[in-house]
Chain A
């Protein structure tokens, strides 16, 4: 987790990351998160947030419409299932290409402005896509019901075995749900993380950071920032499209609500919560939000009573009453409180907390120059 960079350290960092991701079913089990669906969500939204961070964390351009690319990726993947067959590989490739083209078009227009105007433009495009998917393009997207794979679809490459069997994505005979689906997503996440790490360390990544720190100065030195930001936007959109296709590979259904502004906001939250501009932060943020959404929202009074059953009765009822505000339907309240606390006390997100803790444990050690630099970068 160190920010001191050298190829050797990066390699160690990457290997530890890969090992941690692949063993997630083991070490997440004790906190109730070790079941395939949630693990898949961790990997997929981690990838989504990693891609978003390439744009927001490096260039500082806050896109408020990234869910549109997630949606485009999802719809492309389902159409690939419907027309070509249930193999995930063409779905992934097509989704990334489609999202990339879509991002190129939106980025080309939106990147003419920066700051809040850029955010509003991307938000407008995303809402436009959402409304198109929701009602205008119903023949392509099936509107609110969501696009699903049907038995009557052509599926030209596996039409032969089409009549029987479950309609789930299948990679060379392995069904992409359950743990197999998780490992498929995990491998793609690790690859995505590797690419992100390379971009962070590359001259291209340094150019992107230059855009963030002072775009005017960059222009004065004779560099045109637009190609760099556009490239970052497209790469980031492709990550989102990839995440969208993975959502459909593990569960072949694409709904318009994936493109809604709340979904775009969610990835912003994930990134800020974890720590924008850090490699690992967005992944942690994504994990935290998905954990809250799936585990905290499922607590009901029954569960709370069993947790607090050690308390005497006269205490148990008020405690359960109070706690039930924050779990079940109130999970968003808990998340909101947590978000506020983190933004106020740890502007650099969870990663800043981690590095502060790290310094605390080192005792009198002075923060290294690199650590300092990172905290500053994160605080921006």
Chain B
């Protein structure tokens, strides 16, 4: 194990030479900057490092790939390459396209594997080894919550990516964590009135729920808001994440007397469960004298592509859609399309926006110190990033913006045009008091 043993002989010299060669050939050079500064990983050189922690394998790998594309685009725009994207439409003009605080933005990436353990290991690597000043990403609420609490303990900012559970900015919220994406509470508030118009106030719902924090949160919110409409919940069945085959869960729906199936699934799970539900003929049935309906509370373009024909006419909610007509959306869709050849998903949008918002806050605060930068984000009102006027609420670090109710298009014109916007629910209608979801932000942690 020791490299050089005395007395020196041919053997030990060769061994040392071989190990030395390996060492020189390895590009990553350990630089311990962790304990030298006023806050953890303070950038001292000409660059600042962002950590992009996204699922590159597992059930949310498609979302993760799109998120990474968006992050790379955001870094380009921050460094003044490309056409600037939403920097041109963003209401805050602090960023000049010359990096952040005079430092060029570079990034490191990691694979969360959609597993809390792996996600934390890869976030730790980025913080401890690569000196990342902030971590962003995540395509699963379980992972996002795990990484958020890690960032709080380590002392860096966490900009949540695609995480929709109430808990991320509810009972598991942390001072160092910020979320731009909407949550299940907002989905419920936006979706319920539309459901009432389309399906009526007298329905019996059956829930299939992904068995982790997001699924539980979504189920609870939908139950709450549909309950207010007068809907009855027949049963709520938990299914394991990444189950693949949902037929054993769908068969009982037929005999339950329910006339609406709510699929609290996301990603590949939703593609599979929806496809199987449609193949079982649920949508052709009449129950209680009404047409059987399926609802997918959280929708995305990637899922619609996966499920193909089966999404037609199915209602759900979405944080953003590339077909919106405001200037920010158009600028982003254009530069994303030029770069990659297809329109961005909502996961890409929220990640791109989070990277921009972080950079902008750092620029306005003049530092990357989490406590100062966080204050610049708290209560920040902005516009031009695709969702209309938006507020980063100080009390729970949650963004409030318009929510879209969408429906699978009957006659799609292309494989990227699968969803149509039914209604843009205004921000006022989805706002709720911060105390509603409990939790404690606690103090900022600068990591020293």
In which size bucket is the chain B interface? 35 or more
Judged by a CB distance under 8 angstroms, whether A311 is at the interface is no
Contact partner of B129 among A32, A280, A303, A361, CB < 8 A? A32
Judged by a CB distance under 8 angstroms, whether A300 is at the interface is yes
* Of listed B23, B116, B145, B440, residue having the most chain A CB within 10 A: B116
Note all chain B residues with C-beta closer than 8 A to A167. Answer: 149, 153
Note all chain A residues with C-beta closer than 8 A to B110. Answer: 297-298
Interface string of B332-360 (1 = CB under 8 A from A): 00000000000000000000000000000
Note all chain A residues with C-beta closer than 8 A to B212. Answer: 143-145
Note all chain B residues with C-beta closer than 8 A to A38. Answer: 125, 129
Q: Is the CB of A145 within 8 A of B116?
A: yes
Note all chain A residues with C-beta closer than 8 A to B29. Answer: 30, 32
Q: Is the CB of A151 within 8 A of B440?
A: yes
Which among A95-103, A251-259, A369-377 touches the partner chain?
Answer: A251-259
Judged by a CB distance under 8 angstroms, whether A170 is at the interface is no
Which among A3-11, A12-20, A198-206, A341-349 touches the partner chain?
Answer: A12-20
A144-B142, A146-B142, A361-B14 given; A300·B120 CB < 8 A: no
Judged by a CB distance under 8 angstroms, whether B146 is at the interface is yes
Q: Is the CB of B117 within 8 A of A298?
A: no
Q: Is the CB of A361 within 8 A of B10?
A: yes
Interface string of B129-172 (1 = CB under 8 A from A): 11000000000001001100110110000000000000000000
Judged by a CB distance under 8 angstroms, whether B427 is at the interface is no
Q: Is the CB of B1 within 8 A of A300?
A: no
What is the distance, in angstroms, from B273's C-beta to the closest C-beta of chain A? 16
> How far does the alpha carbon of A253 sit from the alpha carbon of B445 in the complex, in Å?
20
Closest to A1 in B: B1
Interface string of A282-322 (1 = CB under 8 A from B): 00000000000011011010110011000000000000000
Note all chain A residues with C-beta closer than 8 A to B108. Answer: 298
Judged by a CB distance under 8 angstroms, whether A134 is at the interface is yes
Q: Is the CB of A35 within 8 A of B128?
A: yes
What is the distance, in angstroms, from B48's C-beta to the closest C-beta of chain A? 15
Closest to B149 in A: A148
Note all chain A residues with C-beta closer than 8 A to B63. Answer: none
Judged by a CB distance under 8 angstroms, whether A353 is at the interface is no
Note all chain A residues with C-beta closer than 8 A to B22. Answer: 31
Interface string of B360-397 (1 = CB under 8 A from A): 00000000000000000000000000000000000000
Interface string of A204-222 (1 = CB under 8 A from B): 0000000000000000000
Interface string of B1-44 (1 = CB under 8 A from A): 11100000011001000000011001111100000000000000
Note all chain A residues with C-beta closer than 8 A to B57. Answer: 329
Note all chain B residues with C-beta closer than 8 A to A160. Answer: none
Note all chain A residues with C-beta closer than 8 A to B238. Answer: 135
Note all chain B residues with C-beta closer than 8 A to A257. Answer: 115-117
Judged by a CB distance under 8 angstroms, whether A90 is at the interface is no
Judged by a CB distance under 8 angstroms, whether B122 is at the interface is yes
Note all chain B residues with C-beta closer than 8 A to A295. Answer: 28
What is the distance, in angstroms, from B133's C-beta to the closest C-beta of chain A? 16
Judged by a CB distance under 8 angstroms, whether B211 is at the interface is yes
Q: Is the CB of A37 within 8 A of B128?
A: yes
Q: Is the CB of B1 within 8 A of A17?
A: yes
Judged by a CB distance under 8 angstroms, whether B446 is at the interface is no
Q: Is the CB of B1 within 8 A of A20?
A: yes
Q: Which residues A19-41 have CB closer than 8 A to chain B?
A: 19-20, 27, 29-32, 34-38, 41
Judged by a CB distance under 8 angstroms, whether B226 is at the interface is no
Contact partner of A135 among B1, B107, B122, B211, CB < 8 A? B211
Note all chain A residues with C-beta closer than 8 A to B149. Answer: 148, 167
A35-B30, A167-B153, A253-B116 given; A144·B211 CB < 8 A: yes
Instruction: Specify the main secondary structure of chain A where it touches its partner.
Output: helix
Interface string of A230-274 (1 = CB under 8 A from B): 000000000000000000000101010110000000000000000
Q: Is the CB of B116 within 8 A of A255?
A: yes
> How far does the alpha carbon of A295 sit from the alpha carbon of B108 in the complex, in Å?
12
Note all chain B residues with C-beta closer than 8 A to A16. Answer: 1-2
> How far does the alpha carbon of A170 sit from the alpha carbon of B110 in the complex, in Å?
28
Q: Is the CB of A166 within 8 A of B30?
A: no
> How far does the alpha carbon of A148 sit from the alpha carbon of B152 in the complex, in Å?
14
> How far does the alpha carbon of A306 sit from the alpha carbon of B66 in the complex, in Å?
24
What is the distance, in angstroms, from B212's C-beta to the closest C-beta of chain A? 4
What is the distance, in angstroms, from A248's C-beta to the closest C-beta of chain B? 11
Contact partner of B3 among A27, A41, A138, A168, CB < 8 A? A27
> How far does the alpha carbon of A298 sit from the alpha carbon of B53 in the complex, in Å?
10
Judged by a CB distance under 8 angstroms, whether B69 is at the interface is no
Judged by a CB distance under 8 angstroms, whether A197 is at the interface is no
Judged by a CB distance under 8 angstroms, whether A177 is at the interface is yes
Q: Is the CB of B23 within 8 A of A30?
A: yes
Contact partner of B120 among A144, A253, A258, CB < 8 A? A253
What is the distance, in angstroms, from B70's C-beta to the closest C-beta of chain A? 15
A253-B117, A294-B121 given; A134·B240 CB < 8 A: yes
A145-B116, A329-B57 given; A253·B146 CB < 8 A: yes
Q: Is the CB of B211 within 8 A of A307?
A: no
Note all chain A residues with C-beta closer than 8 A to B185. Answer: none
* Of listed A20, A143, A361, residue having the most chain B CB within 10 A: A143
A30-B29, A32-B30 given; A145·B145 CB < 8 A: yes
Judged by a CB distance under 8 angstroms, whether B218 is at the interface is no
Contact partner of A166 among B10, B11, B128, B152, CB < 8 A? B152
Note all chain B residues with C-beta closer than 8 A to A303. Answer: 27
Judged by a CB distance under 8 angstroms, whether B124 is at the interface is yes
Note all chain B residues with C-beta closer than 8 A to A329. Answer: 56-57, 111
Judged by a CB distance under 8 angstroms, whether A225 is at the interface is no
> How far does the alpha carbon of A41 sit from the alpha carbon of B129 in the complex, in Å?
14
> How far does the alpha carbon of A41 sit from the alpha carbon of B121 in the complex, in Å?
9
Q: Is the CB of A166 within 8 A of B213?
A: no
What is the distance, in angstroms, from A352's C-beta to the closest C-beta of chain B? 17
Q: Is the CB of B27 within 8 A of A298?
A: no
What is the distance, in angstroms, from A3's C-beta to the closest C-beta of chain B? 15
Note all chain A residues with C-beta closer than 8 A to B125. Answer: 35, 37-38, 294, 298
Contact partner of B26 among A30, A138, A145, CB < 8 A? A30
Judged by a CB distance under 8 angstroms, whether B109 is at the interface is yes
> How far does the alpha carbon of A295 sit from the alpha carbon of B129 in the complex, in Å?
10
Judged by a CB distance under 8 angstroms, whether A162 is at the interface is no
Q: Is the CB of A255 within 8 A of B153?
A: no
> How far does the alpha carbon of A20 sit from the alpha carbon of B109 in the complex, in Å?
31
What is the distance, in angstroms, from A315's C-beta to the closest C-beta of chain B? 18
Q: Is the CB of A135 within 8 A of B129?
A: no
Note all chain B residues with C-beta closer than 8 A to A146. Answer: 116-117, 142, 146
Note all chain A residues with C-beta closer than 8 A to B10. Answer: 361
A sample of 17 more A-B contacts (CB under 8 A), given A38-B125, A177-B153, A298-B130, is A1-B1, A20-B2, A30-B30, A35-B30, A35-B125, A138-B211, A143-B211, A148-B149, A151-B440, A167-B149, A168-B153, A255-B116, A255-B117, A257-B116, A294-B121, A294-B122, A298-B109
Can you give 24 A-B contacts (C-beta < 8 A)? A1-B1, A16-B1, A16-B2, A32-B26, A32-B30, A34-B30, A35-B128, A37-B121, A135-B238, A145-B142, A146-B117, A178-B128, A253-B120, A253-B146, A280-B1, A294-B121, A297-B110, A297-B111, A298-B125, A300-B109, A307-B27, A329-B57, A361-B10, A361-B14
